[in-house]
Structure 1
Amino acid sequence: MGNKFDDLEKPSFTWHWRSLEDFKNTSWFTLGNYSNVILIVFFLALAFNQIRRKNNEGKRIGYEKRYLKSPEFPEVEEQPEFDWKTTEPLQLRPFKPKYHLTMAESDDSALEALPPSDLLLMDKNYADRITYRRKIISEEGEHVVAVSDDHRIRPAVVELYHFLMGTYLPLRFPPMFKLHEAFYEEGQTFMLENLVTKALFAAKPSPRTTTKTLLETLGRTVDEEFLFLLREDEEESPDNKDKDYPTESNAKYVLQAYVCVCPSGFDPREKLGKRLASIHDPVPGYPTKIEASMDRFFSRLEVGKYVKRANWSITTNPNLYSAGKGTNHAHEGDDITEMKEIDVENTFLRCERQTLHRLPKSKAIVFAFKTYMYPIKEIKDEGKGEELAEAIDGLKEGNVPQMHFYKRGVVWGEAVKRYLRS
């Protein structure tokens, strides 16, 4: 029995032993194959990861090339889905029962803080306005675009130009403006494409491009007027280079450059090189009411602080460009004839959305404004006819009664009020 069992068990033991040997041999061979597969997978994963990282880096670089960096300016909030064609114009109604001329409430509405991203506004009138602006710029020359010979003004214009054309517009309104990288003999540069008009302008101005040309380009690109003011007799010194704004409360500011396609009742060419006080010389009450406070405000305006306000007047013509005397303002000695009735189709509430800020490098102050024309019928249909009629009377009841004459209320006032109350 024992031998029989031994005979039976021996082959079984031998079989297990041989199977173990075969298993060991097979495992080493398989392990080698597995190692090769793992190495291949590892290197493939590494390669794919490098490709993905390069693609992401390329996308990031491409994304960043959508705009030029302007770290000195506040960040711009993007509007990737902005549709200018469906955006209604801003509805300004700044008239009040009584008109008071003060620094806090100069020409009708108080100064307000302005989010830097809202520096410029676009709406469905953009294409028509740009066409109009191009026409006026080509026809009126220095009456709408001019620059002084002050050596400090070019850096100021270049500074704003670079920010608006290279940073602000492609970031704030990407459906309307697109930045392109280009290479010329001089090297790399960037061009801004206006997707609405198909115009193409340099986003980084060449040293050979004149300051006046830069201003004209701004005027042909955005529906906004820009007036650059520099501190009078400001000397460049190491003590002033790191200051965000001048400290002297009595500093005087002078208009040194402008693109102003839609002036209302004044010729910008006559204002170039003049102080604020001289610029506002025709405005009743300016010397006694706000000249000193205006000078202080300009001197103390800090870099990074943006403010806005609005004003209003009534015009009996549809012209955005109204530079001549007797258009929107009246002056002593003017031939005044009271209107018996108005032409409703050509009578408008004309408002300006005005902004003010200081450029971070040049420290120039930029006064800008966008003009809105609202048909008088629109105001009446809104149910604000009586409110506007009271504001017309209020021009004579505030702290500067002469404002009623200055705004030509003596010409259109009674006729407009009759229509609004009819």
Structure 2
Amino acid sequence: MSLKALDPQDWIEIDDQFVKYLSQKDTLLKTRHSEVFASLPGTAASQKEVLELLLDHLLKRFPQHYRRHDQRIEAIATHQVWHISDFESAPLDLAGRLVQEDLLLMERSRQGYRLVAASLCFPLRWRLREKLGCPLTQIHSPVPGYSEKLAHPVDSVFNRLKSNHPVWRLNWSIVESPELFFPPENAKPGWETTINCQNAGDKMFLRIERQTLRRLATSGDILFTVRTYVHPLRVLEDNPQMADSLAEIIQHMPVEMQEYKNILPIRQVLLGYLGSIVETGAIANN
């Protein structure tokens, strides 16, 4: 899983895309609320714990970005002001509006940890409503080998996680669009036929998820955050070593995982493009 210890001070990330992300979340929550927010009954107390933890962190860590006025919280850069009392029945809804991360709440059950609430504005090829209430094994059923190889280690991490020792990891995908909100229906059939080594840098996108896991001290539930970054693949032209590493990963990736990550249809063009970056970098260094 490549998990690393996370300094709680670095839990949430804010960058120059802050206004764009929050504005897009606001639009999605106004126009497609049932698709990007959902919660099961009986989870309000745990959701409130998330909101209180997040508010405390944001006001201390990013005082230049947030102000609190009694029961109102303001995102200074976007001029958005929310009344906390308006979200008593769904505190996680407000929490998700405050940050660039998506927030997913996992509760321990007889079947293992299950997804009980989420503010998920930036999914990649999955739908929140189809996963709500499902345990981890079912959520990850499309992942090749998850049940056989990953289910036990993941469950072990969740069971051992301490509230004062959060962890983080990175995940990556190559996608055909820079869209942050990317449910299955946004896929572009046949896009791979338009890709060649000359346009790959602009027509393919590197989508990176910075994921964190943090146990809530009171409820014992686990908050899973996902911060999504999307860049044109040409960003690798400035880092031949990273391009070389990615090419090596793809070359050794099992076919089943290539299919899951939608790499297989673009594999040859992708490797050709990455190889050209490495070759250009080697020539420049000679």
Shift of 1:346: 3.4
**Residue 283 (structure 2) aligns with:** none
Deviating beyond 6 angstroms after TM superposition, the runs of 4 or more aligned structure 1 residues are: none
Percent of pairs identical after alignment? 31
Say whether 1:217 aligns with 2:217.
no
Shift of 1:270: 0.5
Q: Decide which of 164, 177, 183 is 2:54's aligned counterpart.
A: 164
Are residues 327 and 392 of structure 1, via their aligned partners in 2, closer, same or farther at CA, if it must alter by over 3 Å?
farther
Shift of 1:326: 7.8
Q: Decide which of 249, 253, 261 is 1:395's aligned counterpart.
A: 253
**Residue 130 (structure 1) aligns with:** 22
**Residue 377 (structure 1) aligns with:** 234
**Residue 120 (structure 1) aligns with:** 12
Cα distance between partner residues in 1 of 2:73 and 2:120? 22
* Structure-1-length-normalised TM-score: 0.61
Does the 8 Å contact 2:104/2:119 carry over to 1? yes
Q: Which amino acid aligns with 1:222?
A: V
Say whether 1:139 aligns with 2:139.
no
Does the 8 Å contact 1:133/1:220 carry over to 2? yes
Shift of 1:337: 7.8
Say whether 1:155 aligns with 2:54.
no
Q: Decide which of 115, 136, 140 is 1:255's aligned counterpart.
A: 115
Q: Decide which of 220, 244, 248 is 1:386's aligned counterpart.
A: 244
Q: Decide which of 54, 78, 96 is 1:197's aligned counterpart.
A: 78
Q: Decide which of 269, 272, 283 is 1:415's aligned counterpart.
A: 269
- In terms of mean alpha carbon deviation, does 386-395 or 127-136 score higher? 386-395
**Residue 42 (structure 1) aligns with:** none
**Residue 295 (structure 1) aligns with:** 155
Are residues 421 and 293 of structure 1, via their aligned partners in 2, closer, same or farther at CA, if it must alter by over 3 Å?
closer
**Structure 1: unaligned runs, 5 residues or longer:** 1-105, 182-189, 234-250, 329-334
Cα distance between partner residues in 2 of 1:343 and 1:142? 35
Q: Decide which of 170, 179, 185 is 1:319's aligned counterpart.
A: 179
Q: Decide which of 196, 205, 208 is 1:351's aligned counterpart.
A: 208
Shift of 1:223: 0.3
SS in 2 for 1:419: helix
Aligned ranges for residues 88-107 of structure 1 at < 5 Å? 106=1
SS in 2 for 1:138: helix
Cα distance between partner residues in 2 of 1:303 and 1:385? 36
- In terms of mean alpha carbon deviation, does 133-142 or 372-381 score higher? 133-142
Say whether 1:266 aligns with 2:126.
yes
More strand by share: 2
Cα distance between partner residues in 2 of 1:344 and 1:194? 35
Cα distance between partner residues in 1 of 2:275 and 2:19? 35
Say whether 1:232 aligns with 2:122.
no
Aligned CA-pair RMSD: 2.1
**Residue 184 (structure 1) aligns with:** none
**Structure 2: unaligned runs, 5 residues or longer:** 277-286
- Paired residues, number: 272
Shift of 1:338: 5.0
